[in-house]
Amino acid sequence: MHTLFEGVHLHGFIKMADKRDYYEVLGIQKGANEDEIKKAYRKMAKKYHPDLHPGDKDAEANFKEVNEAYSVLSDADKKARYDQYGHAGVDPSMGGDGGFGGFGGFDFGGFGGFGDIFGDFFGGSSGRTRNGPMRGQDITVEVTVTFEESAFGCKKEINYKKIEKCSDCSGTGAKKGTQPETCSICHGTGTVRVSQRTPLGVIQSTRQCDNCRGTGKIIKNPCDNCRGTGYVKVAKKLDVTIPAGISDGQRISLRGMGDDGRNGGPSGDLLIYVTVLSHSIFQRRGYNILCDVPITFTEAALGAEITVPTLEGDAKFIIPEGTQTGSTFRLKGKGIPNLNNPKNKGDLEFTVMLEVPRNLDSKQKELLRNFADACGEKNYQKKKKFFDRKK
């Protein structure tokens, strides 16, 4: 008895089944927004970063899996293809664009989840070749800066590893002095056409050539440096300019500095995620800086010239007589430079907090009692209104 799936090439489907769901890798739900994806990535990348687990192969594998998941889910187009077709929609070796051969991308999802099998069966994912231009992978790196460095900008040295063309063979994979040969089976196309008899008739489809593994080339004398792959992983060191005004979690993209592309494809990008350390007294809100400044009872009651800390050194500010605790004042232009226009700066907003004196001696206490008797109720309008409302 013949079935619809008899003889179907399931290699691509099995490969997809081995891969974990990208949302599961990042620990988020499908439908997560951009901020949730970015936050989850940073958390998982820190958890498995190789620097924190030297020599731990499992951590290294998890780190690569996290980066792979983020490279897809952080890209709107890739995410849309992944949400519709799963791994087949984004993995070049499985079809890359989630297409389904001559069916114009028709969604077979209604057949109980066998869409990927149908796509493979009708010449979809297995018919893709590996000899077409392929973009290199993006590389993600994290850099940590201080609060002041984020405000004024700085230079940071980063170390990372990237995949680039082998210098010995110029990316051919063949030993110096030799060249890859055109595959005699697929004649350089990377695919072979097969016919399959089904209850629907004879179906013709294409699949990856097993002889050359879809490359269209046969390397008889592999390069010793890259072992025939044409690419090697190299350590890189780079001085990166962190612009003034950058905030925690923002990304710097260096175009074309990621992994080299293959077969003439463009290189990926180097993505640098910035983590800003917290400050001991300052907080950031947009381009404004917030802080609390303690003042004495005397300064609040009589008014005074007080010292206010800023990122550029201490500044003097006169608070008026009768200043209440919790009052907020502003120093114009003492905040964070605008990332797109550094000449424009935010403000410093500081809140004065009245510090009540402690450990008074008997003389000081007596003076305060006399002062309280002299003031009576007339100098405490808020207290009087409060109890009036209660009545």
Q: Give 289-334 pLDDT, tens digit per residue.
A: 999 999 999 999 999 999 999 999 999 999 999 999 999 999 999 9
Residue with the larger pLDDT of the pair 190 and 131: 190
Give the Cα separation of 216 and 211 in Å (integer): 9
The model's confidence at residue 105, banded by pLDDT at 50, 70 and 90, is very low
- Residue with more model confidence, 178 or 387: 178
- Average pLDDT of span 23-27: 91
Mean pLDDT, residues 157-175 taken together: 92
pLDDT of residue 92: 57
pLDDT given for residue 9 in this prediction? 42
Q: Could you give phi then psi for residue 307, rounded to 5 degrees?
A: -95, 130
Q: How large is the average pLDDT for residues 228-248?
A: 94
3-state secondary structure of 307: strand
Segment 185-211 shows an average pLDDT of: 82
Per-residue pLDDT, 15: 45
Q: What would the DSSP string read from start to end of 116-169?
A: HHHHHHTTSGGG--SSS-BPPPPEEEEEEE-HHHHHH-EEEEEEEEEEEE-TTT
Query: How does residue 110 score in pLDDT terms, banded at 50, 70 and 90?
Result: very low
Q: What is the largest CA-CA distance in the chain?
A: 108
pTM for this structure?
0.60
Kindly list the distances between the CA atom of residue 300 and the CA atoms of 265, 351, 372, in Å, as whole numbers in the listed order.
Answer: 68, 12, 16
Q: Which among 58, 72, 81 is positioned nearest to 26, based on CA atoms?
A: 72
Per-residue pLDDT for 359 more than 50? yes
- Kindly tell me the number of DSSP H helices and DSSP E strands found in the chain: 10, 15
Confidence (pLDDT) at 293? 97
Mean pLDDT on 114-143? 61
Which band of pLDDT confidence, cut at 50, 70 and 90, is reported for residue 257?
Answer: very high
SS3 381: helix
Q: Which domains does the chain have, with CATH numbers?
A: 130-180+219-278 (2.60.260.20), 283-390 (2.60.260.20)
Q: pLDDT at position 131, please?
A: 67
Average pLDDT of the chain is 82
Q: Return the pLDDT at 165.
A: 93
Q: Is 197 helix (H, G, I), strand (E, B) or coil?
A: strand
Question: Which has the minimum average pLDDT: 42-56, 108-122, 347-361, 369-383?
Answer: 108-122
More confident residue, 124 or 225: 225
Task: To the nearest 10°, report the CA torsion of 198, 201, 202, 208.
Answer: -50
**Cβ neighbour number for residue 145 with a 10 Å cutoff:** 18
pLDDT tier at 354, thresholds 50, 70, 90: very high
- Residue 129: the pLDDT is 52
Lowest mean pLDDT among 112-116, 147-151, 385-389: 112-116
